[in-house]
Chains A and B, each alone.
Chain A
Amino acid sequence: MTIPVGIEAMNVFGGMAYLDVRELCDHRGLDLPRFENLLMQEKAVALPYEDPITFAVNAAKPIVDRLSEDERGRIEMIITCTESGIDFGKSISTYVQKHLDLPSNCRLFELKQACYSGTAGLQMAVNFVLSQTSPGAKALVIATDISRFALADAAAIQEWAYSEPTSGAGAVAMLVSDQPHVFRLDQGAYGNHAFEVMDTCRPGLDTEAGDADLSLMAYLDCCTAAFEDYSRRVENADFQTTFDQLCFHTPFGGMVKGAHRQLMRKLYKAKPDAIAEDFDRRLAPSLSYGKRVGNTAGGSVFVALAGTIDSVAPHEPIRVGLFSYGSGCCSEFFSGVVTQEGAERLRAMRIPDQLDRRYRLSIAEYENLLSGGAAIRFGTKESVLDHGIIPGAFPENGDGTRLVLERIEGYHRKYIWI
């Protein structure tokens, strides 16, 4: 008997504040007509009292709150997936367990593989469920990443170039189980492609380095090769007809458009009009949340999935093809099915409302965050967070459901619900 498996519940958290990307580009003097190619509108900006832990917990809380005591008790694994870790040893998953009051007989750990980490976490959880070592068990997988830019000097802005407007912040929480209401995975239908390449990396605790051309080339190579591997495993798989919708890892929308165009040319020698029509129909829905939060690294492909499900709101089951890419590099093409029930369950998370409620930062406020010493750096031993740094961004009358960082004592992070 085949056990169904996949995502039982899912939520996206896009932070408490955002910046208008067009405004930032105007301010930086970037060439706007060309900038339209990025297909970006807003980027989430992590406030000093937000970190990958608050993002993770705030993404998962609405899912956990909807569970019965019995269901919550069946969460036996928490996997955090991130390239924004807060410690070389201790994982974010430990803080997640504490603040969501999850069971103590739980396997906690963290995964790192650049932007591929979320998919690695999902597949790990899926295989835990399929193994039936603990029948009926659930796993909580959370991809959480934030980017922080520090305005060291004027040259820094030049160096960031297009990475500043595209880098965002966000977390996606997924409850994985044998009741895949939101996304039923096609078991055995996947393809991988991986090789060593130095396209982007984080060589220091707070630094990122990368080569845009090499990264794009690796992404494109992987997109083709991972789908070829998928086709090798899945009889009659056809990129054009097998999938009703597609979700790609989204550093920015323009990159997804480029990868799609390449595949359509390579596989079908498709003409520009046909490519554009196919993109609008099968990929544009996947950008609806990504263009509001920016690149969320490990969570990006699942931000795309949530965007697709909420935008398309299918009445009939649809098959979705996903392409996940993480620098360095590892990639995977996989697929699954979304039904009307799944769409209704995701809609209940009210992701757009949460995004709409975020505080819009002015350029002056944003630059204050860049230049100030308010951000908590990796390895901070002691600190007390200034919750008033951006008046207006901190909700004075919250309902106690939002976690923020309050202080760090002896490296231990202390949080409060606001």
Chain B
Amino acid sequence: MDANKIAEIIIAEIRETVPELAGQTITEADSMADLGVDSIERSEVILAVMEQLGLKIPMVQLHGPRNIGELADLLHAKSAG
């Protein structure tokens, strides 16, 4: 699965977790915090994506990305590794 596909999964999970964002455009350049996704919800999005990817690593290894695109790249690298 490439990083673009992973970004789509992330965005779908954001919409699932925060229904209030319906109708709002979300792109890879957006950060979850700026979209108004709170810290608990951010962790839930990441967990849900990890689950979908079958990725079993400590969450702290996914800390650092500044936007959805960077998070997708990191998840892609971790999935490949």
Contact = CB atoms under 8 A, between A and B. Distances in A.
A213 interface: yes
Contacts of B62: 217
Contacts of B40: 37, 216, 254-255, 257-258
B59 to A, nearest CB: 4
B42 interface: yes
B43 A34 contact: no
Contacts of A214: 60, 63
Contacts of A162: 39
A298 B40 CA distance: 22
A211 B46 CA distance: 16
A37 B38 CA distance: 9
A67 B58 CA distance: 47
Nearest to A197: B60
B47 interface: yes
Nearest to A261: B44
A261 B17 CA distance: 13
A220 B59 contact: yes
B39 A213 contact: yes
Interface residues of A, number: 23
A216 B39 contact: yes
Secondary structure dominating the interface of A? helix
Could you say which interface size class chain B belongs to?
10 to 19
Nearest to B48: A265
A212 interface: yes
Given A34-B38, A37-B38, A221 B43 contact: no
Interface in A250-268: 254-255, 257-258, 261-262, 265-266
Interface string B5-38: 0000000000000000000000000000000101
A218 interface: yes
Interface-centre pick from B44, B46, B58 (highest chain A CB count, 10 A): B58
Contacts of A216: 39-40, 42-43
B38 A217 contact: no
A31 B63 CA distance: 25
A266 B50 CA distance: 11
Nearest to B64: A214
A37 B37 CA distance: 12
Contacts of A265: 47, 51
A266 B55 CA distance: 12
A220 B43 contact: yes
B44 A258 contact: yes
A162 B39 CA distance: 10
B63 to A, nearest CB: 5
Given A218-B60, A221-B58, A221-B59, A213 B43 contact: yes
B68 to A, nearest CB: 14
B55 to A, nearest CB: 13
A212 B40 CA distance: 9
A266 B63 CA distance: 20
Interface of A: 31, 34, 37, 162, 195, 197, 211-214, 216-218, 220-221, 254-255, 257-258, 261-262, 265-266
21 contacts: A31-B36, A162-B39, A195-B60, A197-B60, A212-B39, A213-B42, A214-B63, A216-B39, A216-B40, A216-B42, A217-B58, A218-B59, A218-B60, A220-B47, A220-B59, A258-B44, A261-B44, A262-B43, A262-B47, A265-B47, A265-B51
Nearest 3 Cβ contacts at the A-B interface: A217-B59, A258-B40, A221-B58
